[in-house]
Amino acid sequence: MSRIGKLPVDIPAGVTITVGESVITVAGPKGTLEVPVQQNTSTKVEGTQIIVERSDDEPKSKAWHGLQRALLQNAVTGVTKGFEKKLEVNGVGFRLSGSGKQIEMALGFSHPVKYTAPEGVELKTDKMEITVSGIDKQKVGQVAAEIRSLKKPEPYKGKGIKYVDETIIRKAGKAGKK
């Protein structure tokens, strides 16, 4: 059995789960998320837990089993606590402004870079830090990755946009002539 898939998902107070044919709806205090039902898996709600089972022991079924459970856990966490990623902007002359759905960044290009977040994702700026938050873990991660890709950190001076917990391995510059 899948080590992840066999674990039950606890349902906190205030969260309702509706299991349908092709979609599982998770509603909570922060919003509502829909999780697609994976093939060869079945989901049932027993008391305050969600149990995910699979139909056979094929390798693909085992993979779908773990995925289904992880998606449900992320949906439950999202509608109760939400998700958040922090990005740090480093560089001389780099600036941030705006919040909500759109931010504007000066990243050393000849023009300011504007980024508009999709529905369900909130952007906040604080000095040289961008906070991406929302209830959908996949969307939050995707938006953070897209913002980071606008100016990836370079290894010589460390300029660019990086995750707060990311470590940039620095390289030595060119050695001068003797």
- Percent of the chain exceeding pLDDT 70 equals 98
> Residues 90, 72: one domain?
no
> Residues 43, 109: one domain?
no
Domain-ending residue, one of 80, 114, 140: 80
> Residues 101, 151: one domain?
yes
Count the Cβ atoms, other than its own, within 10 Å of residue 37. 16
> Residues 58, 104: one domain?
no
- Would you give the DSSP letter of residue 6? T
> Residues 74, 93: one domain?
no
Residue-level pLDDT at 29: 95
Angle value at C-alpha 93, between 87 and 94, nearest 5 degrees: 20
- Percent of the chain exceeding pLDDT 90 equals 81
> Residues 87, 73: one domain?
no
Q: How many residues does the chain have?
A: 178
98 occurs within a structural domain: yes
> Residues 14, 63: one domain?
yes
Rg, the chain, Cα only = 21
168 occurs within a structural domain: no
Count the Cβ atoms, other than its own, within 10 Å of residue 98. 15
pLDDT band at 1 (very low <50, low <70, confident <90, very high): low
> What is the residue range of 30's domain?
9-80
d(Cα 51, Cα 8) in Å, to the nearest integer? Answer: 5
pLDDT digits (tens, 9 = 90+) for 18-63: 999 899 999 999 999 999 998 889 999 998 999 999 988 898 988 9
pLDDT digits (tens, 9 = 90+) for 119-152: 999 999 999 999 999 999 999 999 999 999 999 9
146 occurs within a structural domain: yes
54 occurs within a structural domain: yes
For 62-72, b/e burial (b = at least 16 CB within 10 A) is: bebbbbbbbbb
59 occurs within a structural domain: yes
103 occurs within a structural domain: yes
DSSP string, 45-102: EETTEEEEEES---HHHHHHHHHHHHHHHHHHHHHHT-EEEEEEEESTT-EEE--BTE
Do the bridges between strand 49-54 and strand 83-90 make them parallel or antiparallel, or are there none, so unpaired? unpaired
Q: How many domains does the chain have?
A: 2
Domain-ending residue, one of 57, 80, 103: 80
Residue-level pLDDT at 116: 96
d(Cα 161, Cα 122) in Å, to the nearest integer? Answer: 18
Return the residue matching tokens 């107070």: 13
> Residues 99, 138: one domain?
yes
Domain-ending residue, one of 21, 46, 80: 80
Residue 100, domain CATH: 3.90.930.12
4 occurs within a structural domain: no
> Residues 66, 51: one domain?
yes
> Residues 87, 155: one domain?
yes
169 occurs within a structural domain: no
